[in-house]
Amino acid sequence: MAEGSALDVGGDTGEIRSYTMNFGPQHPAAHGVLRLVMEMEGETVIRIDPHIGLLHRATEKLAESKPFNHSIGYMDRLDYVSMMCNEHAYVRAIEQLMGVTPPDRALWIRTMFDEITRILNHLMWIGSNALDLGAMAVFLYAFREREELMDTYEAVSGARMHATYYRPGGVYRDLPGRMPKYRESRWHKGKDLARLNEWREGSLLDYIEAFAKDFPKRVDEYEELLTGNRIWKQRTVDIGIVSPEQAMAYAMTGPMLRASGIEWDLRKKQPYAKYGAVDFDIPVGTHGDCYDRYLVRVAEMRQCARIILQCVDWLRKNPGPVIVKNYKVAPPTREDMKESMEGLIHWFKLFSEGYSVPAGETYAAVEAPKGEFGCYLVADGANKPFRVHLRAPSFAHLASINEITRGHMLPDVVAMVGTYDLVFGEVDR
């Protein structure tokens, strides 16, 4: 809604004066509930004031009133496109305070699913960002692969999005030995059904391996549609340039930082899980504009497939436990729970009361798809956190929007909001 007139018709000068316009929170390109109060001069942006808090769900405060494990599901709902990466930071913080080390197999599974989550996030980003800027087809292509990866979430956790799969001490359960198949229906039959089930004849690892080997060809299709596309380049090249100095001043991380030419990735600089044991490259940009950030994310998807194949290879060769055998932290098997009184007591105590974490404070961070997602956790010896504070990359990135978009045209704001890869679950928390 415009406030006042853009043209001062009351005076003799006929000067154009600035006016104020709302962008969002209902706008489909606002990526959630972002409200931008924009001061415009014609179609040129003079100043932007981002208003947040419209999706505030008090996640950090709610965590203080629940046993530690009960908040794992809340982490999924922060950046709800990078579910397991959020869980990873929270679970790592608990493990650091308790001095618990998960089995190797659990760490390899976490590494693999962190990369699956990274692909899921970047597929959502490339599809929605292209749609924001007028490219419809890429969205349909990206969601084709996204659906295939959501099946891996469902196979290990039973849920396609909010998995709650990572637990202190490991993961909820081992990878299934059989992948669910499509059944014949009025929509899928004959050759079409055989094609859909081609990768599903074996285990989940077989399915993930088939996907990771095929995925680079799919990325080629996205690049064919966008990388050399004249209209795409007109909308992204030299738009929203973030200098290395600005990126560091605003505490940017992830693709936003690397596209500005700074090679910083927690998976390399502060390795966690099994990232120190896998071989991959860090894509880095040179110019820091929207186009560079696009190229960095596309290159990251290729590296994800490379890491996933290394994880599949190790997991195939090394069966073993996926969670610590410490019944104060992880539940006994259902067989133990039904056959022994001690198992039943441990089960009941763990799910009703939880476990007590030694008093102390810690910070655990992971390289989430959007940047550094961190969990600062304070424990006072009780069975619930004393304080939880979450470091959301989108929150830090959004702070720069006024400086980065000043002097750009109105349609460039859409490109910039898209390139931030905002999800308001984690901005507002």
Domain spans in the chain, listed from the N-terminal domain onward: 19-428
Q: Which amino acid is at 29?
A: A
pTM: 0.92
Is 156 in contact with 175 (CB distance < 8 Å)? Answer: yes
Read off φ and ψ for residue 392, nearest 5 degrees: -100, 125
Who's near 228: CB < 8 A, 6+ residues apart? Answer: none
- Sort 20 into a burial class: Cβ within 10 Å, 0-12 / 13-18 / 19+: middle
Read off φ and ψ for residue 108, nearest 5 degrees: -65, -40
For residue 13, the model assigns a pLDDT of 58
User: What is the C-alpha separation between 76 and 425, in angstroms, rounded?
Assistant: 9
Who's near 217: CB < 8 A, 6+ residues apart? Answer: none
Per the CATH hierarchy, to which homologous superfamily does domain 19-428 belong? Cytochrome-c3 Hydrogenase, chain B (1.10.645.10)
Who's near 343: CB < 8 A, 6+ residues apart? Answer: 327, 332, 333, 336, 337
> Is the previous residue joined to 25 through a cis bond, with omega within 30 degrees of 0?
yes
For residue 17, the model assigns a pLDDT of 77
H helices of 167-276, in order, are 190-196, 204-226, 230-236, 244-249, 255-258, 266-269
Who's near 299: CB < 8 A, 6+ residues apart? Answer: 283
DSSP letters along 286-300, please? SS-SHHHHHHHHHHH
Total residues found in the chain within this entry: 429
Is 60 in contact with 390 (CB distance < 8 Å)? Answer: yes
Question: Which letter does DSSP use for residue 49 in this model?
Answer: E
For residue 278, the model assigns a pLDDT of 96
For residue 15, the model assigns a pLDDT of 66
Chain centroid offset of residue 341 CA: 41
Strand partners, 48: 38
For residue 115, the model assigns a pLDDT of 96
Who's near 368: CB < 8 A, 6+ residues apart? Answer: 79, 82, 85, 86, 89, 121, 254, 393
* CA nearest to 301, candidates 69, 47, 115: 115
For residue 429, the model assigns a pLDDT of 85
Number of C-beta neighbours around residue 343 at 10 A: 18
The pairing of beta strand 44-51 with beta strand 166-167:
unpaired
User: What is the C-alpha separation between 298 and 232, in angstroms, rounded?
Assistant: 14
DSSP letters along 121-175, please? HHHHHHHHHHHHTT--HHHHHHHHHHHHHHHHHHHHHS-SS----EETTEESSPP
H helices of 77-136, in order, are 83-98, 104-132
Print pLDDT tens along the chain (429 aa): 444 444 444 455 556 678 899 987 888 888 878 999 999 998 999 999 999 988 888 999 999 999 999 999 999 999 999 999 999 999 999 999 999 999 999 999 999 999 999 999 999 999 999 999 988 999 999 999 999 999 999 999 999 999 999 999 999 999 999 998 889 998 888 888 998 889 999 999 999 999 999 999 999 999 999 999 999 999 999 999 999 999 999 999 999 999 999 999 999 999 999 999 999 999 999 999 999 999 999 999 999 999 999 999 999 999 999 999 988 899 988 888 899 999 899 999 998 898 999 999 999 999 999 999 999 999 999 999 999 999 999 999 999 999 999 999 999 999 999 999 999 999 988
Counting Cα atoms < 13 Å in the Cβ hemisphere of 120 gives 23
